[in-house]
C-alpha cells in the first residue's frame, strides 16, 4: 500500500511532497485546495479535524499523521537510505529538530499565520492590519537570521548536508517572494542555496507536479 499525502500546491505540504519524492517512497497525492477552502469541507474534516495540510496516510494506520515536522521526520526515519536525517550524529539530529521546530512554530505559525490568517489571533477585524504588520516583521527578522546561516556559502541548512530542513526552507523561500520580499537582493546567500536545491531531480519533479516555481 502507498502513503497518501493530502496536499495543496505550494503550501507547506510541498516539503513533505519533496521528502517522499527524495525517499523514492510509494505514494499517491490527494488534493486539498486551500484556495477553495477545501480543508474545511466535511469530507476532509473527517480525515483531519485540524483542517490543515499536510496530512499523511500511513499504510496500516487508521489515523493520518499530521504536523509537518512529524511527517518529515517519519518519512526520513522510514527511508534512511535517502539520507534525510543526519546519520549517527546526535548533535546534527538535534540541530535538524531545532530548525523544524523554529520554522514551524515561529516563522510559519507566528509569521505567515499572522499575515495570511489574522483571524486566528483576534476575533476583532479592526486588529487585522496590525496583526499582519507584526507578522511581516516576524518574517523579515527570521529571514535575516536564515540568511546569516547561509552567509558562509553553505548549500544546505545543516553542516552534515541535505536533510528534511532544506525542502521546508524552500517552501518559506517561495513564500517570501509571494508576499513581495526581494529575496534575491535581501537574501543572496539563501537565494543561491535555494537555486542549487531546485536543481535536485526530486525538487524539480515536485515543482512541476504542483505547478509552482521557485520565485513563487
Domain segments of the chain as ranges: 3-82, 90-200
β partners of residue 4: 28, 57
Residue 160, pLDDT > 80, answer yes
pLDDT, tens digit, 9 for 90 and up, residues 4-13: 999 999 999 9
Cell of 211: 505547478
90-200 — its CATH code? 1.20.1050.10
Pairwise CA distance, residues 106 & 100, whole Å: 10
pTM: 0.97
pLDDT at 183: 98
Residues with Cβ < 8 Å from 47, sequence gap 6 or more?
6, 55, 64
- C-beta neighbour count of 82 within 10 angstroms: 19
Query: Dihedral, CA atoms, 193, 89, 19, 186, nearest 10 degrees?
Result: -20
pLDDT at 1: 77
Residue 87, pLDDT > 90, answer no
Q: 3-82: what fold? A: Glutaredoxin (3.40.30)
Amino acid at each position: 500500500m502507498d502513503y497518501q499525502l493530502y496536499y495543496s500546491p505550494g503550501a507547506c505540504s510541498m516539503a513533505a511532497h519533496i521528502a517522499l519524492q527524495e525517499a523514492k517512497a510509494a505514494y499517491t497525492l490527494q488534493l486539498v485546495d486551500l484556495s477553495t477552502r477545501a480543508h474545511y469541507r466535511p469530507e476532509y474534516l473527517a480525515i483531519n479535524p485540524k483542517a490543515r495540510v499536510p496530512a499523511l496516510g500511513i499504510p496500516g494506520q487508521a489515523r493520518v499523521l499530521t504536523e509537518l515536522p512529524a511527517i518529515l521526520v517519519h518519512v526520513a526515519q522510514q527511508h534512511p537510505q535517502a539520507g534525510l536525517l543526519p546519520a549517527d550524529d546526535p548533535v546534527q539530529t538535534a540541530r535538524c529538530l531545532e530548525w523544524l521546530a523554529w520554522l514551524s512554530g515561529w516563522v510559519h505559525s507566528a509569521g505567515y499565520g499572522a499575515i495570511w490568517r489574522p483571524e486566528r489571533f483576534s476575533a476583532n477585524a479592526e486588529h487585522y492590519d496590525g496583526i499582519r504588520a507584526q507578522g511581516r516583521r516576524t518574517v523579515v527578522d527570521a529571514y535575516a537570521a536564515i540568511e546569516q546561516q547561509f552567509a558562509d556559502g553553505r548549500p544546505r541548512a545543516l553542516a552534515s548536508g541535505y536533510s528534511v530542513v532544506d525542502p521546508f526552507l524552500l517552501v518559506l523561500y517561495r513564500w517570501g517572494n509571494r508576499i513581495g520580499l526581494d529575496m534575491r537582493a535581501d537574501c543572496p546567500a539563501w537565494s543561491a542555496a535555494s537555486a542549487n536545491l531546485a536543481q535536485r531531480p526530486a525538487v524539480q519533479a515536485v515543482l512541476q507536479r504542483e505547478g509552482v516555481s521557485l520565485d513563487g
